[in-house]
């Protein structure tokens, strides 16, 4: 039995060891393949247990702090402690630069993504459905099939009409996120998959709660600008600034 603490393991073996609990709990029967390795995490395609109601599941395994460098996430962390229910010991650890502090921050980053996926998936947003989170690994619905994972939006081509439909769907999601007090905050065409003619938005560890983050409006503006720039390539004109201020005004008014 492989244990995550065994230092002689290769990176791949160590990441796979974090998926084992999903198998032990009976959510998956085996790991089929490694799909992608991003800056922060590696994604594996897994065969789902027949009882799970899924055929395939994706396991996103974050590389623990000793296997990677942290991206500067200070801007996203602001207000998160107030929003969550972290206990005082965790809060003190988060403030420090100790190993325990980095570990607490890392765990918070992972569970923040799992919780956000749960909230938004329940709200009916176009995001993967999370099944479970154990340590640095999140098990969620797999977007794609046995042949291939869904491609990301970046690099795909659309005609103008398709791009307009895509734009409506993405803005609908941004609005839905906002209604649930969330801004993605890294909504680039790299973090949007496209499958069966629909977008699926992924990668939420940096998502912010606009009630507690003073840069929320700028983060929202950037998300909407990236969408506008993408559809702009296909001839769709879109006033991202106006949309941002409309959405933001409506959000603020609804809250007052
Ligand atoms: N649920 C999923 N189903 C299928 N493929 C997925 C799923 N989640 C992620 N992927 C694939 O894995 C890639 C990386 O995922 P994600 O963006 O969540 O991780 P990341 O480490 O933050 O990556 P990056 O640093 O490149 O943004 C995605 O671009 C996508 O190709
Ligand atoms: Mg990503």
Q: Residue 59 maps to which CATH number?
A: 3.30.200.20
Ligand 1, atom 18, residue with closest C-alpha: 203
Residue 195 and residue 127 share a domain: no
Atom number in ligand 1 closest to CA 186: 27
Ligand 1: does its nearest atom lie under 6 Å from the Cβ of 71?
no
Residue 129 is assigned to a structural domain of this protein: yes
Ion ligand 2, residue ranges at CB < 5 A: 191, 203
184: domain CATH number? 1.10.510.10
Residue 221 and residue 185 share a domain: yes
- Report the candidate in 75, 55, 14 with the shortest Cα–Cα distance to residue 5: 14
Residue 95 and residue 32 share a domain: yes
- Cα 210 to chain centroid distance, Å, stands at 17
| Type and span of the H or E element at 175 | helix 160-179
Looking at residue 96, its pLDDT comes to: 58
141, 172, 203: which is the final residue of a domain? 141
Residue 83 pLDDT grade (very low, low, confident, very high; cuts 50, 70, 90): very low
Beta bridge partners of 133: 138
Residue 180 and residue 66 share a domain: no
Residue 167 and residue 246 share a domain: yes
Residue 247 in 3-state DSSP? helix
Residue 79 is assigned to a structural domain of this protein: yes
| Percent over 90 (pLDDT), the chain | 75
Structure tokens at 26: 């009976």
Q: Which of 64, 133, 196, 203 to mutate to test the pocket of ligand 1 (most atoms within 8 A of CB)?
A: 203
Distance of CA 38 from the midpoint of ligand 1 (Å): 6
- Integer Cα distance of 95 and 64 in angstroms: 18
Ligand 1: does its nearest atom lie under 6 Å from the Cβ of 203?
yes
Q: Domain residues for 176? A: 160-255
Query: pTM, whole model, 2 decimals?
Result: 0.88
Residue 147 is assigned to a structural domain of this protein: no
Q: Which of 35, 114, 121, 141 to mutate to test the pocket of ligand 1 (most atoms within 8 A of CB)?
A: 35
Ligand 1: does its nearest atom lie under 6 Å from the Cβ of 37?
no
pLDDT tens for 184-201 read: 999 999 999 999 999 999
Beta bridge partners of 60: 43, 138
Residue 103 and residue 58 share a domain: yes
Residue 106 and residue 15 share a domain: yes
Residue 115 and residue 182 share a domain: no
Ligand 1: does its nearest atom lie under 6 Å from the Cβ of 143?
yes
Residue 150 is assigned to a structural domain of this protein: no
Residue 93 and residue 42 share a domain: yes
**Any long-range contacts for 48-54 (C-beta under 8 Å, 24+ apart)?**
51/26, 52/27, 52/28, 52/131, 54/131, 54/141, 54/142
Residue 148 is assigned to a structural domain of this protein: no
DSSP state of 153: S
Looking at residue 66, its pLDDT comes to: 66
Residue 189 and residue 116 share a domain: no
The total of structural domains in the chain comes to 2
Q: Please say if the pLDDT value at position 137 is more than 70.
A: yes
Residue 55 is assigned to a structural domain of this protein: yes
Structure tokens at 89: 């010991």
- Integer Cα distance of 196 and 200 in angstroms: 10
- Report the candidate in 220, 155, 214, 133 with the shortest Cα–Cα distance to residue 185: 220
């Amino acid at each position: 039995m492989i244990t995550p603490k065994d230092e002689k393991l290769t990176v791949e073996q160590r990441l796979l060891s974090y998926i084992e609990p999903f198998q032990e709990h009976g959510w998956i029967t085996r790991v089929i393949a490694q799909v992608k390795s991003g800056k922060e995490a590696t994604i594996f395609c897994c065969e789902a247990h027949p009882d799970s109601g899924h055929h395939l599941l994706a396991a996103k395994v974050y590389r623990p702090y000793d296997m990677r460098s942290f991206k500067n996430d200070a801007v996203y962390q602001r207000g998160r402690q107030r929003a969550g229910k972290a206990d005082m010991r965790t809060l003190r650890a988060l403030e420090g630069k100790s190993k325990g502090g980095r570990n607490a921050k890392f765990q918070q980053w992972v569970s923040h993504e799992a919780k956000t996926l749960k909230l938004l998936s329940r709200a009916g947003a176009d995001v993967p459905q999370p099944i479970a989170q154990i340590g640095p690994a999140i098990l969620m619905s797999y977007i794609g099939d046995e042949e291939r994972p869904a491609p990301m939006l970046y690099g795909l081509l659309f005609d103008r009409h398709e791009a307009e439909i895509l734009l409506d769907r993405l803005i609908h999601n941004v609005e839905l996120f906002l209604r649930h007090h969330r801004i993605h905050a890294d909504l680039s065409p790299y973090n949007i998959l496209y499958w069966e003619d629909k977008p699926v938005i992924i990668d939420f560890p940096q998502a912010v709660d606009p009630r507690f983050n003073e840069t929320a409006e700028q983060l929202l503006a950037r998300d909407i600008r990236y969408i506008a720039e993408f559809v702009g390539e296909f001839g769709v004109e879109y006033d991202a600034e106006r949309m941002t201020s409309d959405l933001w005004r409506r959000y603020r008014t609804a809250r007052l």
